[in-house]
Structure 1
Amino acid sequence: MNIQRLHLQPFTFNLSPFTFHLSPRLFNSALLSDKSALSETRNRHESSDFRIIKMAQRRQARNIRGPHSALTDFLASNNISAAQIRDDYDRRATGATQQSPEVEAAHSPSAAESNGSPEANSPEDVTKKRKRQQAIARIKNTKAFARRKAQRKGDDDDDDFLAGQMVDEKQQPKPGQLENCETCEKRFTVTAYSKTGPNGGLLCADCSKKQKGDEKKAPAKKRGPGIGRRQNQANLLDGLTLHGTQSLLETCIKKVADHIHDVDEFGDLPPSLLLRLGQILSRRRSVTSRTLNLFLRPRYKSIDLFDCAKLGTDDYHKILASMPHLTRVNLRFTTPMKDPIFDYMIERDMQIKDLHLDGPNLVTDDCWRRVFIKLGHRLQSLKLWNLDSAFDDETAMVMCNNCPNLQRLKLKFLAKIGDNTLKAISTLEHLQHLSLHPMPETKAETESLVQIIAAVGPQLNTLSLEEFELVDDRLLQHIHEHCHALSKLRLTQNATFTDQGLTNLFQGWSNQALIYADLHSLRDVDMSNPTGPPEPVGLASNGFIALMEHSGSKLQHLNIASCRHVSYKAFEEVFAEDKQYPDLKYLDISFSTAVDDYLAQCIFRCCPSLQRLVVFACFKIRDIHIPRGLAVIGTVGATLKVDGITQSETI
């Protein structure tokens, strides 16, 4: 463009409040005067750009890079510009400062009167409504809407409202963005914990706290019909309850146990109710130094607490001092008990006849011997469980020599006793109830038990021998010959007894009919040979038939769990149509895989007084009709019908 040839007519332009008149001659002279300055500036910039390009080329040729931090590399790789972030922040801050007076003006009464109501049919409103309806229609076709609708209690008319809520939720700012509080208009950063206000907007932290304080606690939801079923089944397994409504007395006892920390005194409760309260509180592990005071009655002669783990040494002294007339002490989980407690018992010369302790590991052998020497002549019942550090064979011999009046003896899981203890027990002439359960590593010989049976067998009413793995059929033969007054027999966890030996025990036995029989886990343990050896090991078909023929008329409790060699034919013969077992109330046939629906119905027919049937791992039981008042425990995926009421069991 040649500026010298530019010819312009005179023109006038108006910049209020001034008016300018510029002639062509004056305009051309101004342009010509700036020509030299313009050329000089252009040359300077071109030379500067040339130098910069040359420097960059030399750096690239030498592989020279400027200083870059890890953050700079990360921002560059993700196309993040710090200048853009700063500009966005400045724009939002400027918008917030400009929005505050506008919002105040919009909410003022004068603005509301001057603006009037918005036009309902304006093009902007129609477009917004149409887009919202389209968004609602899309939301209704999503799985999220279906899940939300399934969780919501309402009619079909609420679909639009629910979809609208979901649209509003999607339109709300995401965490990290800035938003104005709905209540106080304060600018804050949105987080994942930002609460929604009453009009659908978001609230800042202060307003969220105020709203949370104003909200009332929602009423507790009603429990569905199947919510308490798991606890009910647990109670059935523990023998705490049967199907049906609890008695008024049981309900009152549980209500007292629920508020035990608010009870100051039980009042004049009979010992039976104190025993039941002690059982419930022990089960809940609520026996503490405070609740112990509720059970201390100076005129009572017995105390039963089944969980003393939270009691201290002073609490045991308090028991002995507060109840001087004690004759029966039954305390479980007594780990803090030590020698001074028994020394106090000896000094007071207490009249204790029944001593039942579980876990007093801190009591030494010397202390046990002093107790038996000083108080042993009064003891009639002694039950000790779980002693690892004390009570050896020498202590057991002192016990047998100084406790001639013992009628009931139970020793379970005592780590230091062996065959010498068993030989000493045979000297107790008045023994009527004997229960022994050694540690697994204790290898007791058959001769020691045979000596006990030969000496005290004729007067025994209860015999319980558990986990004597090496004892053979000679023990069964001596029980058959010497025991004639047994009402309870427990022989468990043995893989040496044979089916023929058990058959010979019950056939022609002069003993009265048993009331309690526990023969579980008498079986061959070779899992590689599920059918067992040619001669059946443990309780098999012939032994089971002989047991029921001998004691079926009086039997009340029977446990033959894990006796897997009892055949289908034996069950069918025992529970035939012409057989009746009127007193049988408890039957455990777990892991008897031969039992099916037909045999289960035969059991129901032959046992009219049956209250609990345990059938764990009896997978052939699928669809049975249960008489009312009977609890069937252990079915998996079976359909049970209780007098027309059908329910699926998945215990």
Structure 2
Amino acid sequence: MAAERTRKRKRDQEATIAKIKKGKVNKKKAAKTKKKKGGSDDESDFEMAEMYKKAKPMPGQLANCELCEKRFTVTAYSKAGPDGGLLCTPCGKEIQKEAKIAEKANKPVVRKARRKIESNRLDGLTTRGSKTLQQLCIEKLAKHSEDIEEFGEIPEAILNRLSEIFGKKRAMRSSTFKLFLQPDLDNLAIHEAAYLETEDFNQIFAVIPTIKKLILRNCCQFKDSNMEYMIEKAKDLVDVQLLGANLVSNDNWINFFIARGPELKSLKLEWLDAAFNDQAVEALSTFCPNLERLKLERCKQLGVDSIDAIARMEHLQHLTLKLYIHIPRERLINLIGSVGGNLRTFCLENFLDNTETDEMDEDYVPNETTEPKEAHKPDDHVLAAINSNCTHLEKFRFSDNNECTDAGYANLFTGWNNPPLRYADLSSTRDLDNTNPEGPEDLPIGLASSGFKALMAHSGSRIEYLDIASCRHINHEALAHVFDGVKQYPHLREINMSFCTVADTQTVAGIFRSCPRIKKVVTFGCFEVQEVIVPKGIVLIGAPRAHDAIEQFGDTVMDFQKELQSEMDRDRAMGRIVPVMG
């Protein structure tokens, strides 16, 4: 068997050699034939030159550089020259550098990466054009954060903006965190503290013992030891905002309220899972009598008793609650009746539960002059309590609710003894019955046409921000009635009407006419919005067509009031309203 394999290998080698020789002979014959026919023999010369070309030196051998002719040792990383030779290390680096410059010059200019555009949109940035010198300097500082020794004396607003950019770029580390610690500061805001260690938080109170306002977001390493050190050192704290401080025990929260309660004016806590329960809120109510601003969102340990404790805080002016449990209506109505009279900000999200029963629903009529009893489901009594007790609100959020009826919202805003709202967010208030997406016709659930008209009639003269996203039961007639181009909303700057599917080109054009100071219109999911001429200085976000830019910036230079008047005159003459900007 071994002898047979040896003979077979020799036969294969002989066949390969014969094939190579035959190929060389055929090339020579072809070259001679081509020369006889009068053709050029450049190709054959090139092939012969390649055949007898000297092989390149192997790694470890010596060679002359093709450019500078210096003698050098060949390595596996030696670059090839323009004529096929090898280059020494300095010449190879120079050739590589020139190639990169040429490649960069020939590369097509990309205006902006889509990911960057989406990131800016999430941050609420919709400006265009050249950046300001201040913005360029801030971004340059953030880019070279590791090389900065100190910021020096810079305004607090710029320092806060730097903290935001450092947080966004994940550059807020232990080394860069020290740049923001200045002994003469009163306020400190760290918008991304996820990379900070426990020792870093102690430095805040060691360097700035007179701190009054502290904002720490994603402070996952803020522990009991930090809370104890803060109680000992920071004796002037009046405003505390912590997000994600899950390693602080319930007892230390109570100790903090006992020690700093009389001075504390504002407390905002979010994303607390392991601690901060009803006992902590009870201590907050007892030992912090001067608290004016309270925000509790996504605190899993809070229950119904916390609502009763908050109801005893007599000096509250700003209240935001978003809990994981459903609160019985009588407790919520009692809260509104206790603190609603002083509130200027009232935000409730995802609160009511239609599985609860209220014994008081049968006979409870909070405001008989403005709301007939038969117009309400039991859930509408919460809106009625707001109508009766809240008379100083500037900001109102009542979102993610699928129980209050359109009649309840209409009665809330009709005859409401409250100044016009500056900020209104009633998003995602609609019926959730998938079998009937349009909702019940006789009694619409959520903010619908009547409630929307009542809202704009009450607050249209002063409202600056309006969010009615996913209020899908508002019909087209109501939108056309409110934004008809004649009624004016002089202070409205931003409106979000995403997923109000009846909104169309006429609606958006009406917003441009009725809101002379509008800056931003968001229309995601409004597929009937097409071919809109966006006036100068306005951004329209949410273009439905895939090949269009999501943001449409107004470039048209026009005298807007003059254009509006000419269109209205033409409309009156023809007896109709033209839906598109001309």
TM range (shorter): 0.7 to 0.9
1:408 to 287, 293, 303: 293
User: What amino acid is the match of 1:506?
Assistant: F
| Cα distance between partner residues in 1 of 2:81 and 2:322 | 69
Counterpart position of 1:34: none
Counterpart position of 2:405: 498
Kindly indicate whether residue 57 of structure 2 is the aligned counterpart of residue 184 of structure 1: yes
1:462 to 325, 334, 345: 345
1:637 to 539, 545, 550: 545
Distance change in 2, residues 1:208/1:481 (3 Å): same
Counterpart position of 1:362: 247
SS, match of residue 411 in structure 1: strand
User: What amino acid is the match of 2:527?
Assistant: F
Distance change in 2, residues 1:124/1:387 (3 Å): farther
User: What amino acid is the match of 1:526?
Assistant: D
User: What amino acid is the match of 1:356?
Assistant: Q
Kindly indicate whether residue 295 of structure 2 is the aligned counterpart of residue 433 of structure 1: no
Aligned residues of 2:498 and 2:523 also touching (Cα < 8 A): yes
SS, match of residue 623 in structure 1: coil
| Cα distance between partner residues in 2 of 1:181 and 1:378 | 88
| Cα distance between partner residues in 1 of 2:81 and 2:20 | 26
SS, match of residue 116 in structure 2: helix
Aligned residues of 2:328 and 2:352 also touching (Cα < 8 A): no
2:487 to 561, 579, 585: 579
Distance change in 2, residues 1:624/1:389 (3 Å): same
| Cα distance between partner residues in 1 of 2:94 and 2:11 | 41
Kindly indicate whether residue 380 of structure 2 is the aligned counterpart of residue 473 of structure 1: yes
1:71-99 C-alpha deviation (Å, 9 max, x unpaired): x9xxxxxxx964355458889999xxxxx
Aligned residues of 1:590 and 1:615 also touching (Cα < 8 A): yes
Give the deviation of 1:609 after TM superposition: 0.9
| Cα distance between partner residues in 2 of 1:125 and 1:326 | 95
SS, match of residue 285 in structure 2: helix
Aligned residues of 1:182 and 1:197 also touching (Cα < 8 A): no
SS, match of residue 100 in structure 2: coil
Q: How does 1:71-82 map to 2 (within 5 A)?
A: 82=9
Kindly indicate whether residue 477 of structure 2 is the aligned counterpart of residue 569 of structure 1: yes
Distance change in 2, residues 1:68/1:81 (3 Å): closer
Give the deviation of 1:244 after TM superposition: 2.8
Aligned residues of 1:243 and 1:630 also touching (Cα < 8 A): no
Distance change in 2, residues 1:426/1:214 (3 Å): same
Aligned residues of 1:491 and 1:518 also touching (Cα < 8 A): yes
Aligned residues of 1:236 and 1:242 also touching (Cα < 8 A): no
Counterpart position of 2:575: none
Counterpart position of 2:560: none
Distance change in 2, residues 1:130/1:254 (3 Å): closer
| Cα distance between partner residues in 2 of 1:632 and 1:267 | 40
SS, match of residue 450 in structure 1: helix
1:517 to 424, 447, 450: 424
Give the deviation of 1:200 after TM superposition: 7.3
1:306 to 173, 176, 191: 191
1:132-157 C-alpha deviation (Å, 9 max, x unpaired): 9xxxxxxxxxxxxxxxxxxxxxxxxx
| Cα distance between partner residues in 2 of 1:241 and 1:410 | 28
Give the deviation of 1:208 after TM superposition: 11
Counterpart position of 2:528: 620
Counterpart position of 1:610: 518
1:534-588 C-alpha deviation (Å, 9 max, x unpaired): 3100010111111000001100000000000111111100001211111111100
Kindly indicate whether residue 32 of structure 2 is the aligned counterpart of residue 126 of structure 1: no
Distance change in 2, residues 1:424/1:462 (3 Å): same
Distance change in 2, residues 1:482/1:208 (3 Å): same
SS, match of residue 458 in structure 2: helix
Distance change in 2, residues 1:212/1:418 (3 Å): same
Aligned residues of 2:461 and 2:490 also touching (Cα < 8 A): yes
Range moving further from structure 2, 520-529 or 347-356: 347-356
Aligned residues of 1:180 and 1:186 also touching (Cα < 8 A): no
Structure 1 residues not aligned, in runs of 5+: 1-65, 73-79, 95-118, 133-163, 646-651
Counterpart position of 1:50: none
User: What amino acid is the match of 2:433?
Assistant: D
Aligned residues of 2:483 and 2:514 also touching (Cα < 8 A): yes
Aligned residues of 1:349 and 1:375 also touching (Cα < 8 A): no
Counterpart position of 2:393: 486
Distance change in 2, residues 1:479/1:211 (3 Å): same
Give % identity.
Answer: 36
Q: How does 1:311-322 map to 2 (within 5 A)?
A: 311-322=196-207
Counterpart position of 1:238: 123
Give the deviation of 1:239 after TM superposition: 1.6
1:280 to 149, 165, 175: 165
Distance change in 2, residues 1:372/1:641 (3 Å): closer
Structure 2 residues not aligned, in runs of 5+: 22-31, 62-75, 355-378, 558-582
Counterpart position of 2:72: none
| Cα distance between partner residues in 2 of 1:313 and 1:493 | 37
Counterpart position of 1:83: 10
Kindly indicate whether residue 262 of structure 2 is the aligned counterpart of residue 380 of structure 1: no
TM-score, normalised via structure 1 length: 0.70
SS, match of residue 39 in structure 2: helix
TM-score, normalised via structure 2 length: 0.78
SS, match of residue 255 in structure 1: helix
Give the deviation of 1:341 after TM superposition: 1.0
Distance change in 2, residues 1:569/1:288 (3 Å): same
Counterpart position of 1:215: 96
Range moving further from structure 2, 234-243 or 296-305: 234-243
Distance change in 2, residues 1:569/1:88 (3 Å): same
SS, match of residue 347 in structure 2: strand
1:240-282 C-alpha deviation (Å, 9 max, x unpaired): 3413322222222122222222111111111111011111111
SS, match of residue 270 in structure 2: strand
Aligned residues of 2:190 and 2:217 also touching (Cα < 8 A): yes
User: What amino acid is the match of 2:225?
Assistant: P
| Cα distance between partner residues in 1 of 2:49 and 2:380 | 81
Give the deviation of 1:524 after TM superposition: 0.6
| Cα distance between partner residues in 1 of 2:479 and 2:260 | 51
| Cα distance between partner residues in 2 of 1:88 and 1:186 | 33
SS, match of residue 613 in structure 1: strand
User: What amino acid is the match of 1:458?
Assistant: G
Aligned residues of 1:384 and 1:411 also touching (Cα < 8 A): yes
Counterpart position of 2:572: none
Aligned residues of 2:167 and 2:191 also touching (Cα < 8 A): yes
Aligned residues of 1:524 and 1:532 also touching (Cα < 8 A): yes
Aligned residues of 1:333 and 1:359 also touching (Cα < 8 A): yes
| Cα distance between partner residues in 2 of 1:570 and 1:179 | 87
Aligned residues of 2:79 and 2:92 also touching (Cα < 8 A): no
SS, match of residue 533 in structure 2: strand
Give the deviation of 1:209 after TM superposition: 11
Aligned residues of 2:304 and 2:327 also touching (Cα < 8 A): yes
Give the deviation of 1:632 after TM superposition: 1.2
| Cα distance between partner residues in 1 of 2:440 and 2:3 | 81
| Cα distance between partner residues in 1 of 2:404 and 2:130 | 44
Give the deviation of 1:227 after TM superposition: 3.5
Kindly indicate whether residue 208 of structure 2 is the aligned counterpart of residue 323 of structure 1: yes
Aligned residues of 1:625 and 1:641 also touching (Cα < 8 A): no
Counterpart position of 1:341: 226
Aligned residues of 1:523 and 1:562 also touching (Cα < 8 A): yes
